[in-house]
Chain A
């Protein structure tokens, strides 16, 4: 089990396109991946689960990954958020 915590700098948060990209990246891994925002947790492979967390600009989220490729999964998801989902600003 691996976990990391980070701040989302995307200006609309994990919504619409960023949420879809995030879930697609999670689906590319075998590990079970959970995202926590405040008191809410959701399955990273579920777009409904991610949307229901309501992650906003500047929210701090925690990602937990458990499985054979847990390190790769965390690295890929962290990078996606750090690169601001390929969007400028």
Chain B
């Protein structure tokens, strides 16, 4: 058999070699038959419920054996849904209206799922997926089809799927998972994020047609760095990738040593490597993986959990636990960055045609001073004795920076007059995530202490590509020459004004970007904790001069594809 290469979006770096395990959603079709007596139909429902209960119990047991009780508890909720009186009533009334049990179960579970999905709070609405899972499980049992969930995976394999739901991934046995390839999804899809969290390679956005060429057991090489999947690789290809994989695992040992030290280039230039974290729990993980600080503390988690904005005390407790975990390392706290795409229940959003260009982040805070001040007070008060920095998101003009600083000054004055203790020396920076901020770095540099490039949004706004729209996901190219030019311009201008520049977008953790970023003179890189050891190691492989040369060559290329190819070539010497 000759080898076939599929191209997709590289979503998580690394190489996996192994057989395919195909996870395809089953087509569950309602049979056309006339209904039996209500008693008979109900009897079938009850026996389906019993079987579903047994399946869920054994799923729970196997998840419990390899994960925490919290995760396994999802299946307790599923079991309760199976036997729920509301489901029973909804099914029964449909049977009484003359439906067959299969249709009654499908319609009733969809109706109840929709009810949950319509709840304003996101955490409750997320239970919609659970109800749908339960409905599908019951229907599958009624149709006499056996369980083919990813839980059946019992030997190492590459997971091939159209897409994976959150509940699929709960039952996934990570010890047998070598990597992921999916038909849908972009860099920020659920699977992509999961893969990076687990440190497994992934290629997404391969397209349904391409995926259909893969069947269970197809021998695969998955290159999560290059974004390709090779089917039935020939001996030469296989040997090449096996060597690359071996080299990568040998490097792991070295990296564990490097990750405990500060990052320096081969000729001794210090580059700070920090972690992006989204809640207090990951602060410990950041330190374990060798973070020299937190380059981005997202604070949205505090705001999206509740139907009311978090109080000053709740926020102080959350920030304090992050500061405690990081000790004397710097922590950059980004103020609230939410918008109409993910609105909390207590902020009244008008329907927006384009929430990414709408009322969000600093624009909200500058209108809602009480909300903004509560957060600033909490940060300043929690930070006493630590090393905090404050960063404003979505800045697109000098006025916005001034207005935000004015609010901060008012907060300080209020804390002074209330006689409350707070952190006094707190550098203030901005996220550079709009092309406007990148073009105004010279003016902004006069009024702030540092910059951090948010490349996810910067790419989206520069290229006019909605990164949540799968249809245009391939156009979301962080190594696009236009984006790199804005990055270079920001760094150069900030340095002329004596201000430092970091980066906290996905790009900072990408191996194929790191040499360019070093060469452009970036001072700090902040990334997912698990990417840190590899990034520190990679930084140590380049002298400043070599990195500058690479950056210069990359900046002279006209397309993202040429830059990617060039960088894969640069990395090749470390991989094969």
Q: Measuring CB to CB, which residues of chain A are less than 8 angstroms from any residue of chain B?
A: 11-13, 15-17, 19-20, 23-24, 43, 45-49, 51-52, 54, 56-58
Query: Contact at B80–A20, with CB atoms within 8 Å?
Result: yes
Knowing A17-B77, A20-B77, A58-B308 are in contact, say whether A51-B124 is a contact too (CB < 8 A). Answer: yes
Query: Contact at B307–A43, with CB atoms within 8 Å?
Result: no
Q: Could you say which of A24, A52, A56 contacts B80, with CB atoms under 8 Å apart?
A: A24
Knowing A11-B305, A16-B74, A48-B131 are in contact, say whether A54-B80 is a contact too (CB < 8 A). Answer: no
For residue B70, which residue of chain A has the nearest CB?
Answer: A17
Q: Does B145 contact A (CB under 8 A)?
A: no
Cα of A49 to Cα of B85 in the assembled complex, Å: 9
Distance in angstroms from B343 CB to nearest chain A CB is: 16
Cα of A15 to Cα of B308 in the assembled complex, Å: 16
The stretch from B114-122, B191-199, B395-403 touching chain A is B114-122
For residue B85, which residue of chain A has the nearest CB?
Answer: A46
Query: Contact at B76–A54, with CB atoms within 8 Å?
Result: no
Q: Does B30 contact A (CB under 8 A)?
A: no
Q: Which of B361-401 contact A (CB under 8 A)?
A: none
Write out, one digit per residue, whether chain B residues 288-314 have a CB within 8 A of any chain A CB (1) or not (0). 000000000000000001111000000
Cα of A12 to Cα of B124 in the assembled complex, Å: 10
Q: Which residues of B contact A11 (CB under 8 A)?
A: 305
Number of B positions contacting A (CB below 8 A): 25
Q: Which residues of B contact A45 (CB under 8 A)?
A: 85
For residue B69, which residue of chain A has the nearest CB?
Answer: A17
For residue B118, which residue of chain A has the nearest CB?
Answer: A52
Query: Contact at B84–A56, with CB atoms within 8 Å?
Result: no
8 A-B contact pairs sorted by A residue (CB < 8 Å): A15-B124, A15-B127, A16-B127, A17-B76, A19-B77, A48-B112, A57-B305, A58-B308
Q: Could you say which of B77, B115, B120, B308 contacts A47, with CB atoms under 8 Å apart?
A: B77
| Count of CB-CB pairs between chains A and B under 8 Å | 67
Query: Contact at A52–B116, with CB atoms within 8 Å?
Result: yes
Question: Known contacts A48-B81, A48-B131, A51-B119; can you find 4 more A-B pairs with CB under 8 A?
Answer: A47-B84, A51-B116, A52-B119, A54-B120
Distance in angstroms from B63 CB to nearest chain A CB is: 14
For residue A56, which residue of chain B has the nearest CB?
Answer: B307
Query: Contact at A48–B84, with CB atoms within 8 Å?
Result: yes
Write out, one digit per residue, whether chain B residues 63-82 have a CB within 8 A of any chain A CB (1) or not (0). 00000001001101100110
Knowing A56-B306, A58-B308 are in contact, say whether A12-B112 is a contact too (CB < 8 A). Answer: no
Cα of A45 to Cα of B131 in the assembled complex, Å: 16
Q: Could you say which of B85, B115, B123, B307 contacts A16, with CB atoms under 8 Å apart?
A: B123
Q: Does B252 contact A (CB under 8 A)?
A: no
Distance in angstroms from B82 CB to nearest chain A CB is: 10
For residue B119, which residue of chain A has the nearest CB?
Answer: A54
Distance in angstroms from A8 CB to nearest chain B CB is: 12
Cα of A51 to Cα of B129 in the assembled complex, Å: 13
Q: Which residues of A contact B86 (CB under 8 A)?
A: 43, 46, 48-49
Knowing A15-B124, A16-B77 are in contact, say whether A46-B84 is a contact too (CB < 8 A). Answer: yes
Query: Contact at B81–A47, with CB atoms within 8 Å?
Result: yes
Q: Which residues of B contact A52 (CB under 8 A)?
A: 115-116, 119
Q: Which residues of A contact B305 (CB under 8 A)?
A: 11-12, 57
Q: Does B408 contact A (CB under 8 A)?
A: no
Q: Which residues of B contact A54 (CB under 8 A)?
A: 119-121, 124, 307
Q: Which residues of A contact B73 (CB under 8 A)?
A: 16-17, 20
Cα of A57 to Cα of B345 in the assembled complex, Å: 13
For the complex of A and B, the 5 pairs showing the least CB-CB separation, nearest first, are A47-B80, A48-B86, A17-B73, A20-B77, A20-B76
Q: Which residues of A contact B306 (CB under 8 A)?
A: 13, 56-57
For residue B314, which residue of chain A has the nearest CB?
Answer: A11
Query: Contact at A48–B77, with CB atoms within 8 Å?
Result: no
Q: Does B87 contact A (CB under 8 A)?
A: yes
Cα of A56 to Cα of B306 in the assembled complex, Å: 7
Distance in angstroms from A35 CB to nearest chain B CB is: 14
Cα of A25 to Cα of B125 in the assembled complex, Å: 23
Distance in angstroms from B67 CB to nearest chain A CB is: 14
Cα of A11 to Cα of B317 in the assembled complex, Å: 13
For residue A19, which residue of chain B has the nearest CB?
Answer: B77
Distance in angstroms from B144 CB to nearest chain A CB is: 26
Distance in angstroms from B325 CB to nearest chain A CB is: 16
